[in-house]
Amino acid sequence: MDMDIVFATNNLHKLEEIGALLGERFRLIGLKELNINGDIPEDHLTLEENASQKAWYIYDLTGRDCFADDTGLEVDALKGAPGVYSARYSMIGHPTFPEMEPAEGNIRKLLFEMEGKNVRNARFRTVIALVLGGKEYQFEGVVDGRITEVPSGAKGFGYDPVFRPDGYEITFAEMDLALKNQISHRALAVAQLVQKLKGM
Ligand code: IMP
């Protein structure tokens, strides 16, 4: 039986990536297709609450089964920051590097905050909230690693140039996308979502 499911995102790249993983039994619908163009509220302090808030917001608006994701980079030496603020880290508090592209400003701020710190453990964490028949399920994907001293590599996006996953000598930004997509936080969370949906 074919099933429509809404992914609460406007990011076409994410839609395509997750759509391919779900396979032909599922038709993934993005927010553009539903003419939902405004920002979806995500004003909580945890990835879990934000993913949940986004999924329920779209479920309440459309009455359709849907899921939403939220990702953060959690750095031990910074007490879990940037965490839920990963996308706009350099603009939090006293804005730093406002003249830079957000990803570059975020990396510059992170490396500044990490100066002189020997403990450089960090993790990317993705939480997916799925609302199915009015019931919520959550899935988590985690990849542990370290924050490098300097950026390296040009692939990927966001904090990829300064994140070296455990078990590898290269950063995410030096890694082929196909490999990153097998081992990433998002891939691990999506694998659980796919398992749940396929088991229905
Ligand atoms: P989102 O919840 O997927 O929009 O991710 C929030 C922020 O986390 C992004 O704006 C990026 O700064 C960062 N981020 C998420 N996933 C990745 C990744 O795979 N590599 C590097 N940065 C990421």
pLDDT (mean) for 55-69:
96
Please tell me if the CB atom of residue 65 comes closer than 6 angstroms to any atom of ligand 1: no
- Count of structural domains within the chain: 1
Is 1's pLDDT higher than 80? no
Distance from the alpha carbon of residue 135 to the mean position of ligand 1, in angstroms: 27
Ligand 1 center from residue 152 Cα (angstroms)? 17
Q: What is the CATH number of the domain that holds 54?
A: 3.90.950.10
Q: Residue 50: CB within 6 Å of ligand 1?
A: no
Q: Tell whether ligand 1 has an atom less than 6 A from the beta carbon of residue 160.
A: yes
Is pLDDT at 186 greater than 60 in this prediction? yes
pLDDT tens-digit readout, 14-53:
898 888 888 888 899 999 999 999 889 999 999 999 999 9
Query: Which DSSP string corresponds to the chain?
Result: --EEEEE----HHHHHHHHHHH-TTEEEE-TTTTT--SPPP---SSHHHHHHHHHHHHHHHH-S-EEEEEEEEEEGGGTT-EETTGGGGGGSSS---TTS-HHHHHHHHHHHHTTT-S--EEEEEEEEEEEETTEEEEEEEEEEEEE-SS---SSSSTTGGGEEETT-SS-GGGS-HHHHHHHSHHHHHHHHHHHHHHT-
Task: Give the active site residues.
Answer: 70
Q: Which domain holds residue 171?
A: 3-198
For ligand 1, the distance from its centroid to the CA atom of residue 12, given in whole angstroms, is 15
